[in-house]
Structure 1
Amino acid sequence: MPARRALLHRVPMRHPGDTSAIEALFEAGAIHPRQVVAVLGKTEGNGCVNDFTRAYAVQALSLMLGRHLGEAPESVAARVALVMSGGTEGGLSPHFLVFGIGEGAAPQPAGALAIGTAFTPDFAPEEIGRLPQMQATAAAVRAAMAAAGIAEADAVHYVQVKCPLLTSERIAAARARGRSVATEDTYHSMGLSRGASALGVALALGEVAAVPEAAIGADWSLFSGRASTSAGVELLRNEVIVLGTSPAWAGDLTIAHAVMRDAIDLPAVQAALRAAGLPGDGGQLDAAARERLVAVLAKAEPASTGLIRGQRHIMWDDSDINATRHARALVGGVIASAVGRTDLFVSGGAEHQGPDGGGPVAVIARRGDGGAARP
């Protein structure tokens, strides 16, 4: 029986509803619509509560996939993880990452990229940013690992989670039922939701032990070095994508990660490149290496101290531009300088995702030996 093979294509978008580049992949036979298990997107919104570019992109993707598959859009959205991260500040380029699962000729003894997805049940407003969300996320991560055939937590290199947030309507609904919510500040709810989800990843991967609810959004010593969580108004559940390596999978794709200790930790980016088999000697990737680079995924967050290596930053003090928008632009520039590309999945809001002011960075690349695989 052929082994599973991970498929991944990075394509540009002209606007959040532009799915033409993905449809071009279908027409070229690069991937079949039925092979698609997840789509990650960087959209050009503000990344805040009212960033409807995320919902716009999810709707466009659901309609497009439904049309190709002969299914209702709701059916597609129920089983395909559609994770949109708003905000392409600075030089970041809007793009989609299309993940699929096909067949390979033979497994890779050294391990190849493995993909697993899972979903939590919908959350009630009073569960968002609290223990129920954290615990359900941990269960979903374990389910996604099992779906990918990844037995060991050390083989997991990145876990992407899309999670909900609180709106005024959702808060009012909880209040009408006599329930309290974690916060009545809708923007703060994004951070609590991301934080609870990230700690759920950390629990599943054994990076932390039991976490008290009071630690969510408060104790920054607790974090995952492999979680990336993004909150949005367009859903009520958590959608989980586990990316790791497994010798049971085929293909030429591999993944590696490192943890940026602060926003300018270029050596961590270079370490992730080297671990993925790409040059990481201090210079920018050359054309051949850039061709093998398939995706870079990273988190960005301003340090709560207001300092970067002892120097003052003003990201938290700017009343005109949200702090996470500054952070995405800064970290995106650091990574772009190393890889020579700007279509990077840099997500803001890194509560409990890496150390305070830093965050995980993962690199997906094609191995230099080409890998033994077929479409």
Structure 2
Amino acid sequence: MGIGVHKVAMAAPSDVSELERLIAAGAVDPATIVAFIGKTEGNGGANDFTRGFATLSYQLMLARHLGCTPEEVTRRIAFVWSGGCEGVLSPHATVFTRGPDGAPAGSGKRLALGIAGTRAFAPEEIGTMAVVEAVAEAVDRARREAGIADPRDVHYVQVKGPLLTPAGLADADRRGVALVTRDPNGSKAFARGSTALGVALGLGEVPASAVTQEAIATRMDLFSAVASTSAGGELKACEILLFGNAEGAGGEFQIGHAVLEDAIDAGGVRAALADAGLPDAGGSPDTGRIAAVFAKAEASPSGMIRGRRNTMLSDADINYERHARAALGAVIASITGDPAIFVSGGTEHQCAPGSAPIAAIVRARS
């Protein structure tokens, strides 16, 4: 079963017209769509409603095509959105399909995708070991569903989970239960960190004995090299999309990954493309083969990059995540030639402090 990759532009969080055109042209069969990963133009914070708006817009459109309810679309298709299109980042969605198309026999490993979800979490569970353990179990299920036997063939695990909202705080207060924090935006570090540790645990990247409640958002020496986690108020459960390469997967795509040492690491971008099978020929990759790039952005904990001070962590007007997304987005786009790239902020337990993961999907050579 080959995985298809289709990137569609969005003029607004409600704009589904480009996918509509692909469906009308027969380029995409809506019955084969299994997941969306995209960028919306909100602020990326706890009150970013563009993510839920985009999900609803695609749910309503696909419900018409599939002859089902929007709720059924949600059960059939995973939606992962990251808010914040700072700098050159362009709002878009990458649509993944799963169909019968296969690569020729002996063509090697091809892109495989496994999708899994967790149960819904109560507010007091967000940022706790309950999330870590549930995500670890879901990651294992997703890997097996993708047909990836060796965890080393996993190159990208996208997790979207819940964060604390004012409504969640009020619910916890009514029941008299304790929370990891009372700050909705501050809960993002715990939410992202717990899901990233779940990925690391599920793939065997960290020893189970080291992953404790006290380690979440504090023990940054514990991390996954392939996790990319986000949190939003529009979710109650976690959605896991696991990507890797597998024998017999079919399709025309391959995926690779690398580690970005800082927000201007062009070499890391090129390394991810090379790992996916797209080497830098004379310093310029064949950009026509690049289907999608997914990266996390982070400010340097020291406030320094390559020996120069920056103000990402001290700017009281603009959150550091927005600075980092804008900087990294420009670096990646300068190499790929396409600003419709997925760059998400916040890297708790996603690579070592100051560094960040990046993954690239490219068309394999025929």
Relative to structure 1, is the Cα distance of residues 251 and 321 closer, same or farther in structure 2, using a 3 angstrom cutoff?
same
The correspondence for 1:184, drawn from 182, 188, 191, is: 182
The residue number in structure 2 matching 1:372 is none
Q: TM-score, normalised by structure 2?
A: 0.96
> Any idea what SS the aligned residue of 2:328 has?
helix
Structure 2: gaps (5+ residues): none
Cα shift readout 1:268-296 (whole Å, capped 9, x = no counterpart): 111111122223257343xxx22211000
The residue number in structure 1 matching 2:133 is 135
Letter in 1 for 2:350: Q
The correspondence for 1:10, drawn from 7, 19, 24, is: 7
Q: CA deviation at 1:104?
A: 2.3
The residue number in structure 2 matching 1:119 is 117
The residue number in structure 2 matching 1:272 is 272
The reply to whether residue 149 of structure 1 matches residue 147 of structure 2 is yes
* Contact 2:298–2:356 (CA under 8 A) maintained in structure 1: yes
> Any idea what SS the aligned residue of 2:283 has?
coil
Q: How does 1:281-296 map to 2 (within 5 A)?
A: 283-285=283-285, 289-296=286-293
The reply to whether residue 223 of structure 1 matches residue 223 of structure 2 is yes
Letter in 2 for 1:71: C
Matched residues, percent identical? Answer: 50
The residue number in structure 2 matching 1:206 is 204
Relative to structure 1, is the Cα distance of residues 108 and 158 closer, same or farther in structure 2, using a 3 angstrom cutoff?
farther
**Distance between the aligned counterparts of 2:33 and 2:117, measured in 1?**
16
> Any idea what SS the aligned residue of 1:50 has?
coil
**Distance between the aligned counterparts of 1:304 and 1:282, measured in 2?**
34
> Any idea what SS the aligned residue of 2:100 has?
strand
Q: How does 1:357-372 map to 2 (within 5 A)?
A: 357-369=354-366
The correspondence for 1:168, drawn from 166, 169, 172, is: 166
The residue number in structure 1 matching 2:192 is 194
* Contact 1:284–1:340 (CA under 8 A) maintained in structure 2: no
The residue number in structure 2 matching 1:39 is 36
> Any idea what SS the aligned residue of 1:249 has?
coil
> Any idea what SS the aligned residue of 2:300 has?
coil
> RMSD value over aligned CA atoms?
1.3
Q: CA deviation at 1:109?
A: 4.5
The reply to whether residue 252 of structure 1 matches residue 249 of structure 2 is no
Relative to structure 1, is the Cα distance of residues 257 and 295 closer, same or farther in structure 2, using a 3 angstrom cutoff?
same
Structure 1: gaps (5+ residues): 370-375
**Distance between the aligned counterparts of 2:162 and 2:49, measured in 1?**
13
Q: CA deviation at 1:108?
A: 5.1
Cα shift readout 1:148-180 (whole Å, capped 9, x = no counterpart): 111211111000111111011101211221211
The correspondence for 1:343, drawn from 340, 345, 353, is: 340
Q: CA deviation at 1:216?
A: 0.9
